[in-house]
Structure 1
Amino acid sequence: MKVGFIGIGLMGQHMVKHIINAGHDLFVYDINKEAANEIVAMGAIFAENPAQVARSTEVVFTSLPRPQDVEEVTLGEGGLLSGASQNTTHFDLSTTDPDTIRNVASLYQQKGATILDAPVSGGTVGSEKGTLCIMVGGDQTKYEKYKPILDVMGSEIMYCGEIGSGAVCKIANNLIGMTLGVVLSEALSMGVKAGVDPMILYNAISASTGNTAHMKSYPDTLFKGNFEPGFKLDLGAKDVGLATDLGRKLRVPMKVSNLIQQTYINAQNKGLGQESTLAIAKLQEEISGVEIRIKDKAN
């Protein structure tokens, strides 16, 4: 099958490999052409713009940072919509808001084309291993038709309902994850300042009701001061904002979520946006006067 993919970033660079290794003819595009060098060497064709990707394929996947990027790639000059036909199906793997995806869907519909929201969860590790959770909203017939391609990128593929439903599920999930990052930072800084080693705290919590997958990486990341981005704090802040915006539109009170959003904005203002979302702990460390680190046994 001829497949298109736009956005060869931290996530996309792994997903495209699964697609081409499954035997599909792959057409790719990224604003940074060098990002596609490896996949082109594997046999993919680099398109001159998103429109060419749409013209050359029957199904296109996009993995982009922000809702405005989805709109630009889809609706902008040389965008997917200008190259789409009535046979075009577009799965947007980005984390975006339901209003954006529904607006794009209405414009696609005028050409007889289809877009489905299909945000992913699992981070760069999940994208590399092909074990992502993919939450899909939109035309169920198209979902079933192209699910075999989704299956090579993820291990948990779920149909969530009408267009925008996948986006809502992903926003809810990421809001919980970003909130946990703040709460865990508070709990661990308290424990460490009280004299307990981070790994002992980790093991105790992992064996108890406070256990969460969110802290699974901590022994190799936070506890060692490793904030190399797999998922950048800027993107985490964006996702919390998507949640609070949606809550405001729906008149859903979200007191705690708005406080969490302010915490991430504070982190961005301190220059932590390009680090991992785990860098949110640096704020708590600063105001607590303690670092959540494993002691160097050599010393």
Structure 2
Amino acid sequence: MKVGFIGVGFMGRHMARNILKGGHDLTVFDINKDAAEELLSLGATWAASPRAAAEASEVVFTSLPRPQDVEEVTTGEGGLMSGMSSGTAYFDLSTTDPSTIKRIAEAGNARGVQVLDAPVSGGTGGAEAATLCVMVGGDKDTYDKFKPVLDLIGDKAMYCGGLGSGAVSKIVNNLIGLSVGVLLSEAFTMGIKAGVDAQTLFEAVSGSSGNTTSMRSFPNGIFQRNFDPGFQVDLAAKDVGLATQLGRDLRVPMEMSNIAQQRYIDAQNKGWGRLAAGAVARVQEERSGVEIKPNE
């Protein structure tokens, strides 16, 4: 199958590599060509623009940081839609909002292109190992047709419903995970300041009802003061913001979510936007006067 892939950064390069390893003809584009060098060395073809990638493909995937990036790449000048033909399909793997994907779908419908939202969860490790959860919204027949390609990206591809359902599912997931990260920083600074070692707290909670996926990153992350970029604070602030905006649109109270969003904004304002999302804990550390790390 001829597959196009736009955006081969932290997540995209792994997903694109797995598609290529699956035996498909892959055409790639990124604003930074250097990011595609490994894929090109493995046999991928470089496209000069999103439109050129679309013209060479039966199905196109995008993995981009922000909703506005997705919209620009798809419907902007020289974008994907200008190069896609009737009967082809487009899947957005990014974390975006349902209103954005629905606007893109309007442009796709005019050209006979099926547009589906397909955000992924599982981090860069899941992207590399092809163990991502892929949450798909849109036409079911199109989902079924291209599921073999989705299965190369993740082992948990699932159909969530109509257009926008995947985006909503991912927003819910990220809101929970990122908000828990803020709560963990409060809980641990309280426990440490009360005299319990961070490692002891980690072991106690790991074996109890408070155990969470977010906390499992502590030993190699915050305990080691390791905030190397992966999923960045900037992206976390964006994702929680998508949730609070959707809540406002639907007139759903989002008090705790608004607090979590503000903590990520606080981290951005301290210049930590390009650090790993776990760096949000440093805001709480500064306020409480303790660090979340085991005793020497």
Q: Secondary structure at the match of 1:219?
A: coil
* Structure 1 SS opposite 2:196: coil
Partner of 2:245: 245
| 1:223-267 residue CA offsets vs partner (Å, 9 max, x unmatched) | 110001110010000001100100101111111111111111111
**1:194 CA displacement:** 1.7
2:55 matches 1:55: yes
1:14 aligns with 2:5: no
For residues 126-183 of structure 1, the C-alpha deviation after alignment (integer angstroms, 9 at most, x for no partner) is 1011100010000000000100111111011110000000000000111111100100
- CA distance in 2 between counterparts of 1:156 and 1:199 reads 33
Number of the residue aligned with 1:204: 204
Query: Matched residues, percent identical?
Result: 60
Partner of 1:190, secondary structure, is helix
Instruction: Please name the residue that 2:93 is paired with.
Output: 93
More moved, 255-264 vs 137-146: 255-264
Corresponding residue of 1:26:
26
Specify the alignment match of 1:216 in structure 2. Answer: 216
**Which residue in the other structure is 2:158 paired with?**
158
Q: Which runs of 5+ in 1 are unaligned?
A: none
Deviation at 1:107, TM superposition (A): 1.1
Match for residue 79 of structure 1? Answer: 79
The corresponding residue for 1:115 is 115
Aligned to 2:189: 189
Aligned residues: 296
Q: What is the match of residue 282 of structure 2?
A: 282
Q: Distance in 2 between matches of 1:288 and 1:21?
A: 49
- Alpha-carbon distance between aligned partners in 2 of 1:285 and 1:260, rounded to the nearest angstrom: 15
Residues 1:69 and 2:69 are matched in the alignment:
yes
The reply to whether residue 235 of structure 1 matches residue 239 of structure 2 is no
Comparing 186-195 with 40-49, greater Cα deviation is found at 186-195
Amino acid of the structure 1 residue aligned with 2:229: P
What one-letter code is carried by the residue in structure 2 that aligns with 1:262? Answer: Q
Q: Is the 8 A contact 1:51 1:79 kept in 2?
A: yes
In the alignment, the residues of structure 1 paired with residue 237 and residue 219 of structure 2 have an alpha-carbon distance, to the nearest angstrom, of 23
Residue number in structure 1 paired with 2:294: 294
Cα distance in 1, alignment partners of residues 197 and 148 from structure 2: 46
Cα distance in 2, alignment partners of residues 283 and 77 from structure 1: 41
Query: Which residue number corresponds to residue 171 of structure 1?
Result: 171
Cα distance in 2 for partners of 1:276, 1:19 equals: 27
Q: TM-score, normalised by structure 2?
A: 0.99
Deviation of 1:294 after TM superposition, in Å, equals 2.4
Contact persistence 1:227–1:276 (CA under 8 A): yes
- Could you tell me which amino acid in structure 1 is paired with residue 97 of structure 2? D
Q: Please name the residue that 1:39 is paired with.
A: 39
Partners in 1 of 2:198 and 2:4 — Cα distance?
45
Corresponding residue of 2:148? 148
SS at match of 2:110: helix
SS state of the match for residue 216, structure 1? Answer: helix
Calculate the aligned-residue CA RMSD, in Å: 0.7
Partner AA of 1:175 in structure 2: L
Letter in 2 for 1:233: V
Partner secondary structure for residue 191 of structure 1: helix
Distance 2:96 2:17 in 1: 24
CA contact (8 A) 1:54 1:88 kept: no
Counterpart in the other structure of 1:271: 271
SS class of match (1:54): helix
Give per-residue Cα distances to partners, 1:64-92, cap 9 Å, x unaligned. 00000001100111100100111220010
Q: Distance in 2 between matches of 1:189 and 1:174?
A: 23
Counterpart residue type for residue 144 of structure 1? D
Taking the aligned partners of 2:55 and 2:274, their CA distance within structure 1 comes to: 35
Does the 8 Å CA contact 1:74/1:81 hold for their aligned counterparts? yes
Which ranges of 4 or more aligned residues in structure 1 deviate by more than 3 Å? none
Q: Give the 3-state SS of the residue equivalent to 2:115 in structure 1.
A: strand
Deviation at 1:217, TM superposition (A): 1.3
**TM-score, reference length from structure 1:** 0.98
Shift of 1:218: 0.8
Q: Unaligned regions of 5+ residues in structure 2, if any?
A: none
1:102-145 Cα deviation digits (max 9, x unpaired): 01001100110111000000011110111000100000000001
